[in-house]
């Protein structure tokens, strides 16, 4: 790294800031009437790679309470906790949730809430529902009925996110209808709880702008941003065919495209009058730190200029911001997320 690295990052950051300010102006001009509801989530870290695995630890990471300390102390206000509830619920009847898993999520949630953080609890990697919704939608409703009952007395700094990245047969219409039913079920017992809704097509911009979210003052919408995928997922062996390593990002066209995407998301948010959270964004670790920093800092600045809270994917598993071997933040990534 060194001086050359510092200078190029500074240039990109200055460029990102200019873009961000102009995005803010355009968004103001386009929506003078927009009065953002205040989302409690501004700077969030996905506590990824643990509870959304088949079982915690199987993917090499087990959540430690000291990790939550580090995330809070660094300046994040929220953790998003992805959980593969479908692997910890019965297959019939009331789809009973595994009490050990609930005890584990209690432990993590209680700890983070006591540190004055928000926690977003979601249903992650429910692969079956995306391919066979007619069989699995009722089960997801059953899972949420139990989670809503279990956490009914929790403060509203615990946020529920219905389903991560609906896709394939979870079409826009199907996702909207399911979101609506689950929101109505949760509202039977808790009116103030923030509920985060992802939309179809993997929670991407095209899925978001097609959706018709239910009107409710405490709904937040979510979208995920990994564009261009061939850049952010270079070398990500879990995706086949794996995009080759070496892709670069940051020319004028790249910046213009990203700025336009964020404007489109902001316009949708303004039309619906609901806060919008960028629930996932990040670059796989096979890209150089310099390339990752350019993209991450630009996304972060565009999010903030457009008044979206954001949630980086991920912490120490992959798409890393924290190096578990060195037990230290990857400083340029930390600074891209939290620096000026």
Is residue 208 within 8 A of residue 199, CB to CB? The reply is yes
| Burial group, residue 133, by CB count within 10 angstroms (0-12, 13-18, 19+) | buried
Residue 315 binds ligand BGC (CB under 6 A): no
What gap in Å lies between CA 110 and CA 165, rounded to an integer?
A: 26
Q: Nearest approach, Cβ of 77 to ligand BGC (angstroms)? A: 21
Is residue 293 within 8 A of residue 321, CB to CB? The reply is no
Residues 51-110 that bind ligand BGC (CB under 6 A): 52
Considering beta carbons, is residue 259 or 317 the nearer one to ligand BGC? Answer: 317
| Burial group, residue 103, by CB count within 10 angstroms (0-12, 13-18, 19+) | exposed
Residue 161 binds ligand BGC (CB under 6 A): no
Q: Which of 223, 308, 313, 322 binds ligand BGC (CB under 6 A)?
A: 313
Q: Which of 56, 67, 161, 165 binds ligand BGC (CB under 6 A)?
A: 165
Residue 137 binds ligand BGC (CB under 6 A): no
Residue 222 binds ligand BGC (CB under 6 A): no
Q: Nearest approach, Cβ of 203 to ligand BGC (angstroms)? A: 8
Considering beta carbons, is residue 268 or 315 the nearer one to ligand BGC? Answer: 315
Is residue 198 within 8 A of residue 165, CB to CB? The reply is yes
Considering beta carbons, is residue 136 or 312 the nearer one to ligand BGC? Answer: 312
Using alpha carbons, select from 85, 172, 183, 169 the residue that is nearest to residue 125: 85
Residue 322 binds ligand BGC (CB under 6 A): no
Considering beta carbons, is residue 137 or 280 the nearer one to ligand BGC? Answer: 280
Considering beta carbons, is residue 309 or 314 the nearer one to ligand BGC? Answer: 314
Residues 223-262 that bind ligand BGC (CB under 6 A): none
Is residue 147 within 8 A of residue 140, CB to CB? The reply is no
Residue 280 binds ligand BGC (CB under 6 A): yes
Cβ neighbours around 221 below 10 Å, total: 23
Residue 281 binds ligand BGC (CB under 6 A): no
What gap in Å lies between CA 103 and CA 26, rounded to an integer?
A: 47
How many chain residues bind ligand BGC (CB under 6 A)? 7
Applying CB under 6 A, the residues found at the interface with ligand BGC are 52, 124, 164-165, 280, 313, 318
């Amino acid at each position: 790294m060194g001086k050359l690295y510092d200078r190029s990052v500074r240039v990109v950051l200055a460029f990102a800031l200019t873009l961000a300010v102009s995005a803010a102006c355009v968004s103001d001009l386009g929506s003078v009437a927009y009065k953002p509801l205040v989302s409690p989530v501004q700077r969030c870290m996905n506590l990824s790679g643990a509870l959304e695995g088949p079982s915690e630890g199987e993917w090499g990471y087990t959540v430690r309470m000291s990790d939550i300390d580090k995330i809070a102390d660094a300046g994040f206000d929220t953790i998003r906790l992805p959980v593969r509830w479908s692997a910890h619920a019965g297959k019939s009847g009331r789809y009973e949730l595994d009490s050990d898993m609930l005890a584990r999520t209690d432990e993590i949630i209680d700890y983070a809430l006591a540190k004055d953080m928000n926690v977003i609890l979601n249903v992650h990697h429910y692969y079956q529902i995306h391919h066979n919704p007619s069989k699995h939608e009722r089960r997801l409703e059953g899972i949420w009925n139990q989670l809503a009952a279990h956490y009914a007395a929790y403060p509203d700094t615990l946020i529920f996110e219905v389903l991560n990245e609906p896709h394939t047969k979870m079409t826009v219409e199907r996702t909207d209808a399911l979101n609506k039913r689950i929101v109505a079920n949760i509202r039977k017992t808790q009116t103030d709880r923030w509920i985060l809704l992802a939309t179809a097509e993997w929670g991407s911009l095209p899925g978001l702008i097609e959706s018709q979210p239910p009107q409710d003052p405490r709904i937040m919408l979510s979208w995920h941003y990994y564009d261009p995928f061939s850049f952010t997922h270079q070398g990500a062996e879990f995706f086949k065919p794996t995009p080759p390593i070496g892709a670069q990002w940051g020319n004028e066209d790249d910046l213009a495209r990203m700025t336009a995407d964020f404007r489109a998301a902001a316009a949708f948010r303004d039309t619906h009058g609901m806060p919008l959270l960028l629930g996932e964004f990040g670059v796989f670790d096979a890209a150089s730190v310099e390339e990752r920093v350019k993209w991450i800092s630009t996304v972060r600045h565009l999010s903030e200029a457009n008044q979206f809270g954001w949630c980086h994917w991920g912490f120490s598993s992959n798409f890393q911001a924290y190096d578990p071997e060195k037990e230290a933040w990857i400083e340029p990534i930390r600074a891209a997320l939290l620096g000026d």
